[in-house]
Structure 1
Amino acid sequence: MQKHDISDWDHSHDFSTADQADAERRTRWVVGLTLAAMCVELVAGWITGSMALLADGWHMGSHAAALGIAAYAYAFARQRGADPRFTFGTGKVPSLAGYTSALLLAAGAVWMVFESLSRLIDPVEIRYEEAIIVAVFGLAVNLLSAWLLGHSGHDHHHHEHAHPHEPKHPHHHAHEQRHGLADIQDHNLKAAYLHVIADALTSVLALVALGMGMLYGWAFMDPLMGIVGAILVGRWAWGLARESAQVLLDAGDHGEIEREIRTRIESDADNQVSDLHVWRIAPAGRACILSLVTHHPRPVEHYRGLLSGMKGLLHITVEVNQCRQPACGGESITLDPAVDRFTPHTSI
């Protein structure tokens, strides 16, 4: 008979995926592109004496700093994925970075409102030709950046996780864990994408306003479009902050996957789920703690096997309690931990 030691059931809490590695590479490309655009505008502004080019060059610098947060978050999560200080790995780092970026987007929206209002009250002279050149250049850079960030590899990558129901060796095997777009919540990538989209929107609105100002003399359109852009960016920032905060606080809506877990467990024998907790621990994965009551307890592997194949369920802990009463469903469940506890916590 094959002997096993505790290491046979050991497992990693690094739930990173090939999609995240691909997102990190693309984010770095965008940071480099933004820094290059900043240098071009600063040099051109210095040579031509254009304040518009100089101002937008420094704006590109702040944009690169915000995107740098996203690149750093990916590197941090990757480098510390196996750090035991992180109980369930570094899967929430992208959401933390996304929340930080949402605050930066909101601050930018507030600045746009105040700057636009000040220009409505006290108009400034606009050098339309130079401003249009800057807006077109900025729009081109941001559209390319948005393409790089939005060019997802979800359809071509997968990541292998240890099978949640068997030891690593000698009975270990791996399975392909493919993640659908609807289940992936990489708030870090979304934040970087929103940064470049917000900047592209600003450039588009600026071109519209500058065109009207140059053709019809409507100087007020420039600050007015600034206010419109600020409102849209503010809405995006609020949505991103709300989504990422839910992950950080374990407050997401997991109703669909919880119903499937209950259905799978309770459709087997006379099992009743007495306690269930599901929360997100990675952009494409969740953890589950499940407590059940049954008259005829079976090995923990059996119940974990019932959940086999559920997409995005990466870490499962099962507790089995034996019921010694005629009825164990609903309000009739009463357990004496000293007597009825059958199997304590066991996790994948």
Structure 2
Amino acid sequence: MHIHTLEQWHHSHDFSVDQNHAERNTKIVMLLTALTMVVEIVAGTIFGSMALLADGWHMTTHVAAFGVTIFAYQYARSNASNPQYTFGTGKVSVLGGFASAVALAVIAFVMGLESLGRFFQPHTILFNEAIRVAVIGLVVNVTSAFLLQDHHHHEHEDDHNHHDHNLRAAYVHVLADALTSIFAIIALFAGKFLGWVWIDAAMGFIGAAVIAKWSYGLVHHTGLILLDGAIDKQTKLAVVNAIEEDADNRVTDLHIWYVGQHHLAATISLVTHYPQTSEYYKNLLKDIPSLAHVSVEVNHCHGEPCVDIHRT
């Protein structure tokens, strides 16, 4: 009986979400992307197209990102109950995203240098062959987008409040890659029919810029979560209002941070003339999304209360 009581009060630190459908589709997309990546890089090198090479290198960002995503799903799932992780494994995918962002920055830098070299030393381009490969890359990108979009709609129907934002970002990034493929095709056609060979290198710069921008945004977002950065003021205000609108409670100390991509932890210290159990105050916060782990410290304030909760 005593053991049952302890289990009843135990906090779960499993902040992972069942993403079997997402994991399966991600594996398919990663395989398609990896095959197309190899074909585009080899073809871009042989046919002399920097735009095609840029698109191929851009696809490596996807392969790396999808690989990290799959690893994160599996690692987080297998270690969800591991006591070595104080707040569970919710940040595994965030850490993976940060590592991928660093790799993306390196790729963008290399692409930029290669494109710069092509401006001063243009290479001979076999336009017809390069165009065919670029079109194949575009088809793969569109197919991948549909696969990830299918999961997004399925997830939306099942649970509106637990989106896999990391996978949604991958979906948007695949669309961006499709746009890069379109740029490559445009550059190749412009070079073939208008003689604008320089536009091929220009599209390489555009591809590098897209990757660099995505890398910067990912570093900023994941870094904030990994370093327990402050969350938005709206969520903090919602927590304070939910507690202070009840009786004469006053929040004296508040810390809220991410323990996973979609889960928040909070420690709250409050003072009141009418102290209740910690569960009472946690229940006041039940309508605030993403709050998964809440600790409440209740301090009894002596003296005359500011609000008489017994008056009618």
What TM-score do the two structures reach when normalised by structure 1?
A: 0.76
Which has the larger share of helix?
2
- Give how far 1:108 is off: 2.0
Q: How does 1:26-45 map to 2 (within 5 A)?
A: 26-37=25-36, 41=39
Which residue matches 1:67?
A: 66
Equivalent pair of 1:136/1:203 in contact (CA under 8 Å): yes
SS of 1:283's equivalent? coil
Give 1:266 deviation, angstroms.
0.9
What corresponds to 1:118 in structure 2? 117
Conserved? CA contact 2:54–2:207, under 8 Å: no
| Equivalent residue letter for 2:214 | W
User: 1:61, 1:261 → 2: CA distance?
Assistant: 42
Q: Deviations over 1:50-86 (max 9, x none)?
A: 5569979985677534421221122111111111111
Secondary structure at the aligned position of 2:295 is classed as strand
Tell me how large the CA RMSD over aligned residues is: 3.1
Say if 1:146 and 1:252 are closer, same or farther in 2 by CA, change over 3 A. farther
CA distance in 2, matches of 1:259, 1:323: 22
Given that 2:105 and 2:212 are in contact with CA atoms closer than 8 Å, whether structure 1 keeps it comes out as yes
Give the Cα–Cα distance (whole angstroms) in 1 for the partners of residues 227 and 76 of structure 2.
18
Change (3 A) 1:124 1:307: same
- Aligned identity (percent) is 41
Cα distance in 2, alignment partners of residues 150 and 123 from structure 1: 39
- The answer to whether the Cα contact below 8 Å between 1:102 and 1:191 also exists between their aligned partners in 2 is no
1:270-310: CA deviation from partner (whole Å, max 9, x where unpaired)? 11101111111222221111111012212222212212232
2:155 counterpart letter in structure 1? H
Structural mapping, 1:305-324, within 5 Å: 305-324=283-302
1:20-53 per-residue CA deviation (whole Å, 9 max, x = no partner) reads 33322221121122244467x39x97xxx95569
**Secondary structure in 2 aligned to 1:202?**
helix
- Structure 2 distance, partners of 1:117, 1:56, is 12
Q: How far apart in 2 are the matches of 1:323 and 1:290?
A: 16
Deviation at 1:195, TM superposition (A): 5.2
Q: Supply the AA of the counterpart residue of 1:179.
A: N
Q: How does 1:1-348 map to 2 (within 5 A)?
A: 5-18=5-18, 20-37=19-36, 41=39, 59=57, 63-151=62-150, 152=152, 153-158=154-159, 178-179=160-161, 186-187=165-166, 189=167, 192-193=170-171, 196-326=174-304
Q: 1:52 to 1:76 in 2, by over 3 A?
A: farther
Asked if 2 retains the 8 angstrom alpha-carbon contact of 1:261 and 1:307, the reply is yes
Could you tell me which amino acid in structure 1 is paired with residue 158 of structure 2? H
Report the CA distance between 1:131 and its aligned residue. Answer: 0.6
Q: How many pairs does the alignment contain?
A: 300
- AA of the residue aligned to 2:108: A
Which residue in 2 is equivalent to 1:333?
none
1:220–1:104 Cα change, 3 Å: same
Q: Which runs of 5+ in 1 are unaligned?
A: 159-177, 329-348
Deviations 1:214-245 (A, max 9, x none): 00111111001111222232222211211111
The alpha-carbon distance between structure 1 residues 192 and 38, as it changes in their structure 2 partners (threshold 3 A), is same
- Is the CA contact (8 Å cut-off) linking 2:55 and 2:184 kept in structure 1? no
Structure 1 moving runs of 4+ over 4 Å = 1-4, 49-63, 325-328
Structure with the larger strand share: 1
Taking structure 1 as reference, are residues 274 and 295 closer, same or farther at Cα in structure 2, changes over 3 Å only?
same
Task: State the SS of the aligned residue for 1:242.
Answer: helix
Corresponding letter in the other structure for 2:11: H
Following superposition, the deviation at residue 133 of structure 1 comes to 0.8
**What whole-Å deviation, never above 9, does each CA across 1:87-140 have from its counterpart, x for those lacking one?**
111111121112122222222221221111100011110000111011111111
Distance 1:3 1:121 in 2: 75
1:321 is paired with a residue of what secondary structure? strand
Q: SS where residue 5 of structure 1 aligns?
A: helix
Contact 2:64 2:100 in 1 (8 A): no
Q: 1:310 to 1:297 in 2, by over 3 A?
A: same
